[in-house]
Each structure stands twice: as structure tokens, then as C-alpha cells.
Structure 1
Amino acid sequence: MINSCLLSLFGAPKILYSEITHLEHTSPNIIVYAIPVMAFLTFLEIGVSWYQNKKLYKTKESVGSTLVGLGNVLINVLIKVGLFYLFVWVYNLLPWRMSLSWWTFIPCYFLFDFCSYWSHRISHQQRFLWSTHVVHHSAESYNLTVSFRLSWIQNIKTIFFLPVALCGFHPIVIFVVSQVSVMFQFWVHTEYIKKLPRWVEYVFATPSNHRVHHGSQEKYLDKNYAATFIFWDRIFGTFQLEEERPIYGLTTKIGNRLNPIFLNFHEIKDMFQDVKTAKGFKKKWFYIFGSPTAIYNEKLKKTKKQVIT
């Protein structure tokens, strides 16, 4: 009886590589389908902001965010088949493969969000990975277009989600979960939704919780990493309540940039420049893999010394 149940749960057949193209076509591109809805809500927020004279949108910055977002969608569409091959390969290696069942979406989502928390947290603590995320934090206004600022090279961090694949979830379930997770993060990038009921704020990464994450004040730095469930931050000691209004953007401001290439790669350019001028292997390693905060303080110290001399 038990063996029969386990077999029905974890005894799914391997996926033939000849089926991958068909699987890729049958896996819904939820984000692509959602673009008209996101565009409508964004234009609505723009209109309300303009009518109320709140100035939440800066033209160059918002156009830059949109170009970054469109580039990200295009890249994901182009590499989707490759990622399918990777996840199908892992899936076929496992003896505990789960079948394509709707209910597996729920445990998969929780595990995916847990991995997302750590991927996000480490991306703030290590400069090489920070370069794949910095574009999302460079906006100095906070509005729905900021959710479009997803790095063109962020798929490097796919490795953080291999534990999800190693649990045996079907590749289509993983791809659907990934897209729903990204879609959830759209609505939290707004100043129009204030604090929600206490239990909602305690469980979910709400607009209030996520505004903190985009704040550049010291008390807000490296806080509230969760994508969907804010209780990960509460558990692992990175939660911060929204108190005063956040000052958005990087600690070193870059202004209202429009160029999506600059927005995606300026940190990589700076990193290579720092490595080029650094003396010794240890210092070069530091400028690639060190903490962005420590690197910022180091460069600030250097600048002060140069001013004094």
C-alpha cells in the first residue's frame, strides 16, 4: 500500500529529450500574457500620479526601466529551451520524480520562495552577484516600472534554485512557479498601497515591506529580502518595519538614466576598473567577491585620503 502510494507520487516516467520542444511550447509564458495588464496598471498609476501632482515618475528613469524589462523578457524567451534542458536533465537523474500535478505547485512555491530569499540575500552580500541585481535598485523613484528592472544576466543565479529541481518537481511546475513569483513582485513596487492588515504584513512581502528593501538609509540597507513570504526575513533576522519614508536608489546615486545597457552593466564596468587598479591578488579578489558595503566604504576611505593629500 505504502509502496503503491510512493510510486504514484514519485514514480513519474523520465521525460524524453525529443519532448522538450513540445513541453516548452505547452509551458505558459505567464509574464508575456500579463504584459497588457501590467501596462494598463502602470499607465493608470502614471495618470493618477500626474493628476495628483505627486511626481512619482521621472520620464528617463521610467523609459529606462521599461527597456530593461522588455530586454529581460526577450532574453528569457530566448533561453527558455536551454533552461528546460537543464531542468529536464536534473529531473531525469532523480529516482523520485513527481508527476505533473496541480497540487505540487504549492510545496514547490514555498521551497522556491525560500531559495529566492537566499539568492536575493547573497546577491546583496557579494559584489559579483550584486552586479546581476544592482539594476533593480538604481531607480531613485518608486513606482510600478521599477518591477521591470530585472537584470539581463540574472539567470546566472539559477544555481540557487537547483534544490527545487532536486526535490523532483516537474520542470513545467518549476517554470510556472518562477513566473508567478515574478508576477507577485509587480504590485509591491508602489507607494499608493499603504500598510495592509497586520496579519498580511506579517506573512507577505507587501508594498510597505518591500519599500524598506529599496531604501538607502542605513537602517533599511540589506533588509526584507523575501519575494513573497516576509516571514523568511523574520526567521533569519533581516526584517525591518517601514518607519520613515525610504530614500530610494543606490547609496551612490546614478541619476535618471535611460540607457538599458548602462543600467545593466555599469557595476561590472566599475568592478573591472577596480580590479585593474588594485594591487595584489587579495585586493583584486576583494573587489570581485567582497561585500558591496565594505567595498563602498573602502573606496570612500580612499577618496577622503586623496582629498586630504
Structure 2
Amino acid sequence: MLLLSLFDGKKIPLDNLEHIERNAPDIIVWAAPAMFFFAALEFIISWKQDHKYYEKKETFGSIMVGLGNVVVSALLKATLLYGAVCVYNLIPWRMTLNWWTFLPCYIIFDFCSYWAHRISHAQRFWWATHIAHHSGEHYNLTVSFRLSWVQDLKIIFFLPVAFLGFHPIIIFVVNQIAILFQFWVHTEYIRKMPRFIEYIFATPSNHRVHHGSQEKYIDKNFGATFIFWDRLFGTYQPEEEQVIYGITSPLPKEKKANPLYLNFHEYLDIWKDVKKAKGFRKKCHFIFGSPAGIAMRKKEAAAAR
């Protein structure tokens, strides 16, 4: 009976979307003051201790990318909710709005996030929606603000969550909590945590590895909240040597504070490569090939000239 009542959700009238939007909490907006406070606190401590975890242009770029992402997310909120409601109304196994459905939704959402993240590193088209987050050469709390303005293209990887029948408000809350979780892992100040936490969660130590540009760290530790996905699928790497942050082809120093460049430079590079490439197959390779492989071949070609 409990299972039957769980899947007894009623269709949401589309003309009631404004009510749903008002009742979908903007958790990230509420949390923003605390996030900026802790980022400012880390900056002050880092400056006083002369740790050089922050760099002026890069930090400004992170903040501008973050503010732009907030604007984009606010503009897309109604559209994304509308889509979630349409899917919810389409399927017959709709779940009712129950608080305890948050946990299974979160776990499944994080599983989808692992694969979306992994594919974002495996195919250049999707890497272009993610590279802004990795282009920083310093690791601090403001790096969590560097979320691409076009990252919502990856919503396609999260459709299974909607088609499982979770209520749109639950999905909306899960998405925001998942984003907020990733704030605290972008710091040098939290080193290794207790072993059982390091084994289950994407801790600062685990996530620092993911931002590393060394060969042993590249394309490792994709888990957003849970690191056991990486252990399960063979992409886990513990933090060993000091991490060197950033991408394998560092950005020009004069561009580090430019949010437009940070968000779209990879698309420009893709366009240039596709224009130069001869043949459909090579053009597709520059769009969907491995970003690491393409970068390596371009470096080798440049060195051979």
C-alpha cells in the first residue's frame, strides 16, 4: 500500500507553473552570502599566511563567472521547471511530493552527475561546457563559482532522474544541494579527513586530484558528492604528490579575468580546428574527440614545426 501511494502523484497543471516556481526554494541564493563570507575569510587567512592560494585576476574571473552563472540559472529556472513538469505529467508512475524521496533522488542524481562529469572530460563538445571550472591555476573556494554559463546543456544526462518519476520540486532541491556540496571541497585548508569519509565522499583531498594537470591525476575522481562511483568504475586516484592545478594548455595571463573568454574560448578553438580540418571524419574528431588526446597531438605538431 505504501508503494502504491508513493506512485500516486497527480498531474501538475501547466497553468499552475508560477505557483510551483514560487514554491521551489532558491537555496543557492539563500546560501550565497555564507559562500562569499567563507571565500573572503579564506582569502584573508591565505593572504596573512602568505600561502598564495589566490591570484587577483583569476579570483576576479571566478567571481564574474559565478555571478553570470547565477543570472543564467535564474533566467532558465522557469524553463527547466516547465520541462520537469512536462516529463512528470507524461509518465504514469509519478511520485508524490514526499520529503524522504530526497535521498534516493540524490543518490541517482549523483550517479548521473558522475557520468555527465566523466563524459565532459572524454568528449571535447562537452568539455567546452566544463573547461571554465578547470582553467584556474590556484585552488580555493572561489573555484567553486567557476560554473560554465552553458553547463545546462548537460541536462540531457539527468533526464533519467525525471523519467523515474521524482517530483519536480524534489529534483530542483536535489540539484541545488548537490551544487552547494561542491563548494567546500575546493580548498587547500582541509587536508585528509577520516578514512571512512575519504572512502565514501568527494572530499577536498579527493577533489584536488580531479583538478590536477599531472598525468596520474588527469581524468580521475569524477564523483560530485560520492567518491565510491570512482572506486566502482576504476577512475579513483588518491592524493599523493602535490597537485599542479589548471589545464594542460594554460590560459594567457591577460585573459584570466575575462568571463567571456573563460566561458567560450574552447568553442572558438573548436571552430578554428574544424575549419582547418579536411574531411568530415577529422572535423567530427575535433568536435567529439578526447580533449586530452587532441591537445597532446596539437602540442606534438607544434613542436615538430
* TM-score, normalising length: structure 2: 0.98
Give me the whole-angstrom Cα distance separating, in 2, the residues matched to 1:7 and 1:14.
Answer: 16
Aligned to 1:137: 134
What are the within-5 Å matches in structure 2 for residues 192-271 of structure 1? 192-256=189-253, 257-271=256-270
Give me the whole-angstrom Cα distance separating, in 2, the residues matched to 1:43 and 1:288.
Answer: 38
Aligned to 1:296: 295
Give me the whole-angstrom Cα distance separating, in 1, the residues matched to 2:296 and 2:245.
Answer: 19
- 1:79 is aligned, of 76, 81, 84, to 76
Aligned to 1:158: 155
Aligned to 1:58: 55
- Structure 2 unaligned residues grouped into runs of 5+: none
Q: Is the 8 A contact 1:140 1:255 kept in 2?
A: no
Deviation at residue 19 of structure 1 after TM alignment: 1.0
Give me the whole-angstrom Cα distance separating, in 1, the residues matched to 2:207 and 2:160.
Answer: 25
Give me the whole-angstrom Cα distance separating, in 2, the residues matched to 1:281 and 1:300.
Answer: 22
SS where residue 236 of structure 2 aligns? coil
Aligned to 1:118: 115
Deviation at residue 30 of structure 1 after TM alignment: 0.6
Tell me which stretches of 4 or more aligned residues in structure 1 moved more than 2 Å.
Answer: 4-7
- 1:171 is aligned, of 168, 173, 178, to 168
Query: 1:59-84 CA distances to partner (integer Å, 9 max, x unpaired)?
Result: 11001000000000110011100001
Aligned to 2:8: 11
Give me the whole-angstrom Cα distance separating, in 1, the residues matched to 2:214 and 2:252.
Answer: 17
Q: Counterpart of 2:19 in structure 1: which amino acid? A: H
Query: 1:185-240 CA distances to partner (integer Å, 9 max, x unpaired)?
Result: 00000000000000000000000000000000000000000000000000000000
- 1:191 is aligned, of 181, 188, 193, to 188
Deviation at residue 96 of structure 1 after TM alignment: 0.7
Deviation at residue 255 of structure 1 after TM alignment: 4.4
* TM-score, normalising length: structure 1: 0.97
Give me the whole-angstrom Cα distance separating, in 1, the residues matched to 2:145 and 2:2.
Answer: 43
Deviation at residue 7 of structure 1 after TM alignment: 2.9
Does residue 1:94 correspond to 2:99, yes or no?
no
- 1:42 is aligned, of 39, 42, 62, to 39
SS where residue 248 of structure 2 aligns? coil
Give me the whole-angstrom Cα distance separating, in 2, the residues matched to 1:138 and 1:297.
Answer: 17
Give me the whole-angstrom Cα distance separating, in 2, the residues matched to 1:255 and 1:199.
Answer: 41
- Structure 1 unaligned residues grouped into runs of 5+: none
**Percent of pairs identical after alignment?**
61
Q: Counterpart of 1:25 in structure 2: which amino acid? A: R
Q: Is the 8 A contact 1:66 1:148 kept in 2?
A: yes
Query: 1:284-305 CA distances to partner (integer Å, 9 max, x unpaired)?
Result: 1100000001111221222122
